[in-house]
Amino acid sequence: MGIFNKLIVSVLPLIPKFIVGFFSRKYIAGATLEKAIEKISEFNRNGIMATIDILGEEIEIREDALLVVNEYKQVLAAIEKNGLDANVSIKPTHLGLKIDKTFCYENIQIIVEEAQKYNNFVRIDMEDHTCTSDTLDIFFNLKKQYSNVGIVIQAYLRRTIDDLTRLVKEKSNLRLCKGIYVEPRSEAYKDLTIINDNFKYSLEKLLGAGCYVGIATHDEKLVWHALSIIDKLKLSKTEYEFQMLLGVTEELRDILVSAGHRMRIYVPYGEHWHAYSMRRLKENPNLATSIIKNIFKKG
Ligand code: FDA
């Protein structure tokens, strides 16, 4: 990241919430489930699948985590009722991981069971490195009992290369992404070339072993690499899917959809949009630059 972009990122917390909100509209379906349903109906009409994320993380009170469990039940019911091609993505700290691991496990289990009733699927998002071991433990335990659960693996983590061994052995359903949290160098690669190489290495290993992979990237070089592996392994279009975030690289998304690849869009909704938006903005300082420019324009 250049010095200017670093500077931009450092002043992000000073940007008024309503301005962040204005520029985040593209990345978030809205504050309510109805808004997410509307967005997904539109995607489905265009042959695009979705995964719904209720915005929020780092819950500290048990009752709040239970409210989230209930909200996910409502999301699953709404998917069923509206006949949508969508599943759900959940974050362990949103379901009490930082309160108690067993409590979190039980909460996720309720959601997985509810999804199973509807023949639906639950993806467990991966948060920062302090959550990785617990999240993998929860996933592997659930996997013993349920087949409708998947996990996420991050190419920037140094441990990923080792984690792959078990994930491959258990033929896990994975989403592979670069990783979005700001991590210490002891835990994560900082060199983008290494992160990309690790993404390619992991993808080849997973697809080669017959794992179903959600290839989550907007990076066209990685998309090309994925297509080359898919071709080399002669995979059918039902053996993987591409995944992108709502509002990002829509042109590349449509190119892949037109070519007949399965595409799933991550659709976040909810009241807690600020933390999510700030992460997206930190990740893409060019967007932040345009916000700052707009502030100056307004001035
Ligand atoms: P990269 O960041 O290099 O972006 C490639 C190009 O895409 C950029 O040059 C730019 O054009 C465009 N782009 C990327 N982000 C943009 C943005 N915000 N706005 C506008 N343009 C943008 N991470 C994690 O740690 N845990 C998780 O569970 C998930 N889950 C997840 C689900 C899905 C469906 C996706 C697509 C991504 C995630 N991520 C994630 C985030 C992921 O780790 C990563 O940070 C982002 O996808 C950005 O990485 P890219 O591979 O897109 O490359």
Answer yes or no: is the C-beta of 289 below 6 A from any ligand 1 atom. no
Answer yes or no: is the C-beta of 200 below 6 A from any ligand 1 atom. no
For a substitution probing ligand 1, which of 12, 151, 177, 187 has the most ligand atoms within 8 Å of its CB? Answer: 177
Q: How are beta strands 213-216 and 86-90 bridged, if at all?
A: unpaired
For the record, the structure tokens of 283 come out as 């990740």
* Mean pLDDT split into 10-residue runs, the chain, 299 residues: 68 75 81 96 98 91 97 98 98 96 98 98 97 98 98 98 96 96 95 98 98 97 98 98 94 98 96 75 65 46
**pLDDT given for residue 145 in this prediction:** 97
Count of CB atoms within 10 A of residue 133's CB?
12
Q: Which amino acid is at 230?
A: I
| Geometric angle at alpha carbon 62, from 149 and 141, rounded to 5° | 25
Ligand 1 atom nearest to CA at 219: 5
Ligand 1 atom nearest to CA at 252: 7
For a substitution probing ligand 1, which of 93, 124, 180, 286 has the most ligand atoms within 8 Å of its CB? Answer: 180
CA of 292 relative to ligand 1 center, distance in Å: 21
CA of 46 relative to ligand 1 center, distance in Å: 22
Answer yes or no: is the C-beta of 252 below 6 A from any ligand 1 atom. no
**pLDDT given for residue 171 in this prediction:** 94
Is the pTM higher than 0.75? The answer reads yes
**Secondary structure class of 50 (helix, strand, coil):** strand
Answer yes or no: is the C-beta of 215 below 6 A from any ligand 1 atom. no
Answer yes or no: is the C-beta of 283 below 6 A from any ligand 1 atom. yes
Task: Specify the CATH number of the domain 29-269.
Answer: 3.20.20.220
> What whole-number distance in Å separates Cα of residue 140 and Cα of residue 212?
16
- Which residues are registered as beta bridge partners of 269? 54
CA of 84 relative to ligand 1 center, distance in Å: 24
Please state the domain extents for the chain: 1-25+281-292, 29-269
Answer yes or no: is the C-beta of 178 below 6 A from any ligand 1 atom. yes
> What whole-number distance in Å separates Cα of residue 7 and Cα of residue 185?
20
CA of 217 relative to ligand 1 center, distance in Å: 6
Answer yes or no: is the C-beta of 156 below 6 A from any ligand 1 atom. no
For the record, the structure tokens of 48 come out as 């695009």
Answer yes or no: is the C-beta of 177 below 6 A from any ligand 1 atom. yes
CA of 135 relative to ligand 1 center, distance in Å: 20
**pLDDT given for residue 213 in this prediction:** 98
CA of 137 relative to ligand 1 center, distance in Å: 25
Helices (H), ranges, the chain? 3-11, 17-24, 33-45, 62-81, 101-117, 132-145, 160-169, 192-208, 220-232, 250-258, 273-283, 285-298
**Which DSSP letter does residue 88 get?**
E
CA of 133 relative to ligand 1 center, distance in Å: 22
Task: Give Cβ neighbours of residue 293 (< 8 Å, ≥ 6 apart).
Answer: none
